[in-house]
Structure 1
Amino acid sequence: MNNKKVVSFLPYIAVIGILLLLISSRFTSNAKSFTYNEFLNKADKIEFKSAEMSMGTTVIDISGTYMEKGKEVGFMVSVPNTESNVETLTKTFQKNKKMKLVVNDPNRENFLMSFLMNILPFIFIAGIAFFMFSKMNAGGNNKAFEFSKSKARMEGNIKVRFKDVAGCDEEKEEVKEIIDYLKDPKRFTDMGARIPKGMLMVGPPGTGKTLLAKAVAGEADVPFFSISGSDFVEMFVGTGASRVRDMFKKAAQAAPCIVFIDEIDAVGRQRGAGMGGGNDEREQTLNQLLVEMDGMGENKGIVIIAATNRPDVLDPALLRSGRFDRQITVNLPDKRGRYEILKVHARNKKLAADVNLENLAKRTPGFSGADLENVLNEGAILAVRGKRKIITLDDLDEAIDRVMMGPAKKSKKYSDKEKRLVAYHEAGHAVIGLKLESADNVEKVTIIPRGEAGGYNMMIPGEEKMFPTKADFMGQITGLMGGRVAEEVIFDEISAGASNDIQKATKIAKAMVRSWGMSSLGPIQYDDGTGNVFLGRDYSSGSNYSGEIAYEIDKEIRKIINECHEQAKQIILENKDLLTLIADTLVEEETITSEQIMNLMNYGTLDNPNEEKKQTIEKLEADATDVFETERVEEQTAANELAESELDEALKELTKDDFHDEN
C-alpha cells in the first residue's frame, strides 16, 4: 500500500482508538463484583469504609470500598430494590459510624455522560458510513454537487507581459485599449465610449493566442479566468448552461477581470447544424453563453477573450456586435517576427558564438511561435545529449529537421539502387530550384530518411510575399515535379517517393483554379471558401457549380500540372550533367548545404577554389609579414648591439684620458 494512503488513514484510526478506550473505561474497573447472595452472606463480616447507593426503580446499584488483609478493596453489587433490602443495607452500613455512606438519585446522574454513552455508538456508525461513502464517491469521481460548478481556473498576479509576446506587434496595438479600459474604465464611460465586450482571436495553432490573452491580463494587472470550450459540455442535460452562469457569476465578483475561452468552436458551433437534431446539450450551453454576454452591463468590467482556428463554424449570433465585437487575426510570423520570437526564447539558452538568430529566422518560413520554441528546446536537448556546454549551429540545424520531418533514421539502410534513386530524386528538386527563377531557393538537400520520407529538400522562398502571383505558384509546382521528372529521365521509371510532392502540387493547382481564378475559367470562385469541411453544415449542401464546370475544373488542374511537368523536364534535360554531379555528391556525402550546392554548380566541387586561393594568398601575406617583422626586429637588435658596443668603447677611451690627466 502507498505510504500516503496509510498516513491519510492515521487520523481515523486514532479517533476510533480513543472512542474504544472511552467505552472500555466506562465498563471495565478493578473493583470486585459480588453477586446478590454473596453480598448478603458476607455483609456482616466485611468492614466497609465507604459506600454509594444509587436507588433505581427496581435495582439498587452499590459501589464502594472495604478492608481486606489491611488493604482497601473496591466492590460493586446490584440488589433488588425492596423495602427489606433497603433496611438491611442501611443497618449494615450504619454499623460502622466512621463509614461514609452516600445515597444518589439516579435521575440526577451526569446527563452529558449518559447522553454520550447512549448516542456515541450511533455517531460512530454514522461516521464510518460517511467515511465509506465519501471514499467511494472520490474513487468514482462522482461529485454530484459539483456538476453545475464552473471549471474556469482563476489566476492572479500574471507574470506574462507584452515583452514576452513577440512577432505580433499589430495585434498588441489592437488590445492596448482593453488594458487602458481595465485600468481606468471611467475615462471611456465619461466619453460615452463602449469597449468591446468580447474579442475573438483567430489564427493557426501555435501562433500565441493564449499567450497574448495572458499578456493583456498581466499588463492590466487583473484576474485571469481560463477555460476550454469542451469544459462546458457534459452528458447531463443543463450542466453546460449552469456552468456558464456560474462562470459569469464568479467573474462578476472578481471584476475587473478577463475571461479566456480557448477553442470556443467546441461550444460555439452553428446551431441547427448537428446531425442528431438541434436541441442538444451543446446548443443549450451556447444559448446561455449568448444570453450572458448580451446581458453584461456596460460597467461590469468583464472582458471575454476567445480563441479558435475554425472561425468559419462559429454561430453568427456569437459574432454580432455586442458580443464578440472585435476579431483579431494572429497570423504566422514573418521573418522579422520569427527573429523577435527566437530572441525571446533564447534568453535562457547558452548559444554558441557562431549562432545567428537572423539566419535561423530566414531558414524557418512558415514556423509558428510554438515551432520556434520547440526548435530551440530540441537544440538544447541535443546539446545535453552530446555532453556539450553550449548549443551549437549543428544542434539547431538538426533541431529544424526534427521539427519539420522527425528524427533521422540513420539505422535504416538503403540498397545501392534505392540510394541512387533517392539521390537523383532530391537532386532533381535542387536543379529546378537553382535554374528556375520563380522556384524556391534550395537551402539543404539530404538523403537521410526522416519520418515517412526517404530524403528531403529544404526549399525556402527567396522573398516572403503577402500576395504570391501565378508565376510563384507555377514555380512551386515545377519545383515539386523535379524529383519525379529526374526519376523518369535517369531511370526511365517512376517510384512512390513523389507521392507527397504530387499531393502538394495538386492542392496548389486546385486552389489556383477553384479559389484564386488563375485559369481560363476566369475570376470565379468554385469552392465555398470555408476551408475545412463542417459536416453538420456541409453534409446536405451540394456544389455551387454544374457537372460541366466540374469537368472543366479537372481539365484546368490537369493542364497546370502538365505544363509544370513539361517545364521541369526541359530544365532537367538541359542540366543533366549538374543533376548527375549533385546526385553523385549526395551518394557520397548524404547531406549538402546551399553553399556547397552553389559551389557544385559554379566550380564543380564542394569547395570554392577561389576561396582556397584567397586563403592561400592571405596565408602567404601573413607569413611574409611575419618574416619582414622578424628581419626588422633582428636588424634593430643588431643596430642596438653595435651602438652599445661603440658606447662602451667611447667610455673606455674617456676613462683612459681622465686617468692620464690625473697623472
Structure 2
Amino acid sequence: MHSKTPRPAFSRHFTYRNLAWFSLVIVTLAAPFVVYWTTSIESAHELPYGRFKQKLVAGEIKRVKVGPTWIVGERTTPDAKGGTVTARFHTSRVGLESDAELPALLAKHIADADYEAEPGPSSIQTVVLPSLMLTVLIVALWFLMRRAGGMGSAMAFAKSRPRIYQKDERRITFEDVAGNEEAITELREVVEFLRTPEKYHALGGRIPKGVLLAGPPGTGKTLLAKAVAGEAGVPFFSLSGSDFVEMFVGVGAARVRSLFQQAEAKAPCLIFIDELDALGKTRGTGSGNHDERDQTLNQLLVQMDGFDANRGIIMIAATNRPEMLDPALVRPGRFDRQVVVDRPDITGRESILKVHVRTVALDDEINLRHIAAMTSGFVGADLANLVNEAALLAARKGKTSVGPDEFHEGVERVIAGPEKRNRVLLHEERLRIAYHEAGHALVSRSLPQTDAVHKVTILGRGSAALGYTLYRPEDDRFLHTRTCLDSMIASLLGGTMAEEIVYGEISDGATSDLQRATQIARKMVTDFGMSPKIGRVSYQSGSQGSGYLGSGNSEYGCSPHTARQIESEVRRILVLAEKAARAILVARRGALEEITESLMARESIDANELREILDKYPFEIRPVATFQDVN
C-alpha cells in the first residue's frame, strides 16, 4: 500500500555488507606496507640510539646495516662464563636522520667491509605506492557513496520521510468507518473541498487549514484521516509526531520544511500527523532544555501560517491529550476545527461490529445488538479485537461458524484476559474467593442504579485476578448520580465485607477494589461537588499546581487544612458505603451462602441463576441519597 519511492538516507544503505567490503579494501591496501616495513627490519633486540653510539665507541658493534630511519646489526655481549655472545639488535633513527657524526663513527670503529649504507627510498616507495593507495581509497569511497544515493545523502536524515499513499493504491473510505457519525459529518466538508474547490472559491469561502482529531486511544482517529484521503482521492502524507524529534538541533525544523515542500509538489493533498502531542506540547513547561522541540514546533507554526489553504494542502492531526497542546498551535488559522472522536454508544458499537464481521462466518442466532450491549465502554480497537478473538476461539473448537458463546468468551478475554483453568488453589482459598465474589454480586443486586450482573466466577483470568464479577450495563450511561456512585462504592467493598463477616478478617485480594472505591470517593469530593462539608467546589485531583500556599505538598491545589477536610470526607464516604454493604450481607446471609455453594459446585453462575437464588431471599431496595439510614 505504501509508495515505491527510494529512501535516500545514507544510514539505511550503509549496511554491514558494505562495511565489510570497505574494511577489506583498507586491509588490502595496508597489507603491502605492513609487510614491507616488517620484513625490512629483522627480528632483533631493541637498542636505543644513544646506547648504540656508546656500544659503537666501546667496540661492541661488529656489523651494521643503516637505513633511512633504522639501524640493524650485530653486537657482542658478555655471557655468564666470561666469554662473549653475538646478538642481533635494531635501533630506530626517527627524527635523527641529520646526525652528522654517525658516518664518521661508523668509519672509525667498524671496518669498511662491515659497513653497509642503505640507499635512500626509491620513487616507487615515495610516489607510486602512496598515490596508488590514495587513488584506490577515493574510488572505494565514491563507489560506496554512489550506492548510498550520492554525497548529499549523508545528511538525508534531515529530510522528512513520510509514508505516501498514492491515488492508485487501495483506499479506505467512510464505508470502512463506523460508530463516529458526528466526526464523519464534520470531515465530509473537507472531502468536498478537495473534490470541488471551485464551489468554495466562488463564494469566497476558505476551508480550514487544519483539523484536529481528539479522543481516547483506539477510537479510530487515524482511520478517519485515511478515509478522508480515500474519499477525496488525493495523496496522503502520514507521519508521527515523534518522527520530527531528534537529538540534533535543527533536524526537526528541517524535516518540517521538507514535509511541506513535498506536500506543495503534490497539492492538493493531505498531511496527517499522528500523536501530535509528541511535537506540539506547550512551550516553556516542564524541566530541562527543550530547544530542539521548541524550534520544531515554531517551524510548524510558521509553515502552517505560510501556506495558503486554497492551494489544497490540508493538515489533519490526531492526539489523545489535546489539553497538552500549545495554544498557538490550536488557535483559529492553524487548526481551525477540532473534532472529538469519542467512545461509541450502543448504536455505534453495533455499526462497528457490522464492519468487522463482514469476513467472519456467523451463526444465524448471532444478535449484534445484544453483543453491543455487552461491550459498554469499548472503542473500535476493542471491538475489532473482540471479533478476532471470537473467530480464533471458534477455530480452536473446530467450529465452522462463530456463535454467541465465542463472543461472550471473547468479551471476557478482552476485559480480564485469558482464563486460568490450570491454576491450582487450596480449597480454603477457593472458598474465600467464592465468598468474595458472592459479596460483590449480592450487594450490587441489592442497591439501586447499579449495572446488571452478567456473570460471577471463581475462575481466574489474567495475571492477578483470582475471580471476578462481570457487569453488563443495560443501557449506555453518560451521567452518574450520587446514589449511583454510592452504590458502586458499596458494591466494590462488598467482597471485602463478605470475607470479614464469614472469617472475621480480610485478605489481600481486594487491592484493586479498594483502589477503585477510593478513586470514586475522591472524585465525588474534589471533582463532582458531592460533599456537604466541602461544598460545590472543584479541587482537581492530581498534581495540577503547587498548592494554594505554594508548599507543593497538596495534590489538590489547595491549603493543607482543606486537604485534610477532603481526606476526611473521602474516608466518611467509604465508611458509609462499608456500613451499607455490611448491612445488606447480614440481612441476606442466606443468599450469600447459597451463591457461594453454587460457585464452589459449578465455578461460574450467570445472571439467570443468580436471579433464581435472590428471589428466595427478598430484600427491599431503598433509593436513598446516602447510606446513613441503612442499619
TM-score interval (norm. to shorter): 0.7 to 0.9
| Residue 242 (1) aligns with residue 250 (2) | no
Q: Give, in whole Å, the separation in 1 of the partners of 2:506 and 2:207.
A: 61
What is the aligned partner in structure 1 of residue 571 from structure 2? 558
Which of 584, 594, 597 aligns to 2:610? It is 597
Residue 532 to residue 260, structure 1, CA distance change in 2 (3 Å): farther
**What is the DSSP-based 3-state SS (H/G/I as helix, E as strand, rest coil) of the residue aligned with 1:561?**
helix
What is the aligned partner in structure 2 of residue 287 from structure 1? 298
What is the aligned partner in structure 2 of residue 449 from structure 1? 460
The Cα of 1:304 is off from its aligned counterpart by: 0.8
What is the aligned partner in structure 2 of residue 360 from structure 1? 371
8 Å CA contact retained: 2:241, 2:279? yes
What is the aligned partner in structure 2 of residue 567 from structure 1? 580
Q: Give, in whole Å, the separation in 2 of the partners of 1:462 and 1:544.
A: 38
| Residue 164 (1) aligns with residue 176 (2) | yes
What is the aligned partner in structure 2 of residue 468 from structure 1? 480
For structure 1, which segment, 293-302 or 418-427, has the greater mean C-alpha deviation from structure 2 after superposition? 293-302
- State the superposition RMSD in angstroms: 2.8
Deviations along 1:177-222, one digit per CA (max 9) or x if unpaired, are 1111111112212212222111111111000000111111111111
The Cα of 1:145 is off from its aligned counterpart by: 2.2
Residue 602 to residue 565, structure 1, CA distance change in 2 (3 Å): same
Q: Equivalences for 1:186-225 in 2 at 5 Å?
A: 186-225=198-237
TM-score, with structure 1 as normaliser: 0.69
Q: Equivalences for 1:521-532 in 2 at 5 Å?
A: 521-527=534-540
Residue 575 to residue 397, structure 1, CA distance change in 2 (3 Å): same
What is the aligned partner in structure 2 of residue 264 from structure 1? 276
**What is the DSSP-based 3-state SS (H/G/I as helix, E as strand, rest coil) of the residue aligned with 1:497?**
coil
Which of 460, 470, 491 aligns to 1:458? It is 470
Q: Give, in whole Å, the separation in 2 of the partners of 1:192 and 1:577.
A: 75
Q: Equivalences for 1:122-201 in 2 at 5 Å?
A: 126-131=138-143, 144-157=154-167, 158-201=170-213
List alignment gaps of at least 5 residues for structure 2: 1-13, 26-130, 618-631
Q: How many residues align?
A: 483
Which of 486, 500, 503 aligns to 2:498? It is 486
Residue 569 to residue 239, structure 1, CA distance change in 2 (3 Å): same
Deviations along 1:71-109, one digit per CA (max 9) or x if unpaired, are xxxxxxxxxxxxxxxxxxxxxxxxxxxxxxxxxxxxxxx
List alignment gaps of at least 5 residues for structure 1: 17-118, 605-663
Which of 388, 393, 399 aligns to 1:388? It is 399
Q: Which has the larger radius of gyration?
A: 1
Residue 532 to residue 170, structure 1, CA distance change in 2 (3 Å): farther
Q: Give, in whole Å, the separation in 2 of the partners of 1:338 and 1:282.
A: 38
Amino acid corresponding to residue 199 of structure 1 in structure 2: V
TM-score, with structure 2 as normaliser: 0.72
What is the aligned partner in structure 2 of residue 546 from structure 1? 559
Q: Give, in whole Å, the separation in 1 of the partners of 2:427 and 2:511.
A: 22
8 Å CA contact retained: 2:210, 2:334? yes
Q: Give, in whole Å, the separation in 1 of the partners of 2:505 and 2:576.
A: 20
For structure 1, which segment, 122-131 or 247-256, has the greater mean C-alpha deviation from structure 2 after superposition? 122-131
8 Å CA contact retained: 1:198, 1:304? yes
Which of 599, 607, 610 aligns to 1:586? It is 599
| Residue 320 (1) aligns with residue 331 (2) | yes
Deviations along 1:499-549, one digit per CA (max 9) or x if unpaired, are 101111111111111111111112111117xx78699xx997975311111
| Residue 498 (1) aligns with residue 510 (2) | yes
Amino acid corresponding to residue 149 of structure 1 in structure 2: K
Amino acid corresponding to residue 548 of structure 1 in structure 2: H
**What is the DSSP-based 3-state SS (H/G/I as helix, E as strand, rest coil) of the residue aligned with 1:458?**
strand
Q: Give, in whole Å, the separation in 2 of the partners of 1:253 and 1:478.
A: 62
**What is the DSSP-based 3-state SS (H/G/I as helix, E as strand, rest coil) of the residue aligned with 1:350?**
coil
The Cα of 1:595 is off from its aligned counterpart by: 1.8
Residue 270 to residue 595, structure 1, CA distance change in 2 (3 Å): same
Residue 271 to residue 579, structure 1, CA distance change in 2 (3 Å): same
Q: Give, in whole Å, the separation in 2 of the partners of 1:302 and 1:194.
A: 12
Residue 581 to residue 205, structure 1, CA distance change in 2 (3 Å): same
The Cα of 1:461 is off from its aligned counterpart by: 2.8
Amino acid corresponding to residue 146 of structure 1 in structure 2: A
Q: Give, in whole Å, the separation in 2 of the partners of 1:129 and 1:243.
A: 27
The Cα of 1:325 is off from its aligned counterpart by: 1.2
What is the aligned partner in structure 2 of residue 84 from structure 1? none
8 Å CA contact retained: 2:500, 2:506? yes
What is the aligned partner in structure 1 of residue 239 from structure 2? 227
Amino acid corresponding to residue 610 of structure 2 in structure 1: I
**What is the DSSP-based 3-state SS (H/G/I as helix, E as strand, rest coil) of the residue aligned with 1:563?**
helix
Deviations along 1:205-250, one digit per CA (max 9) or x if unpaired, are 0000001111111111111111000000111110000000010111
Residue 553 to residue 122, structure 1, CA distance change in 2 (3 Å): closer
**What is the DSSP-based 3-state SS (H/G/I as helix, E as strand, rest coil) of the residue aligned with 2:423?**
coil
**What is the DSSP-based 3-state SS (H/G/I as helix, E as strand, rest coil) of the residue aligned with 2:311?**
coil
Amino acid corresponding to residue 300 of structure 1 in structure 2: R
Deviations along 1:417-451, one digit per CA (max 9) or x if unpaired, are 10011011111111122221222210111111112
Q: Give, in whole Å, the separation in 1 of the partners of 2:324 and 2:199.
A: 36
8 Å CA contact retained: 1:432, 1:439? no
Amino acid corresponding to residue 264 of structure 1 in structure 2: L
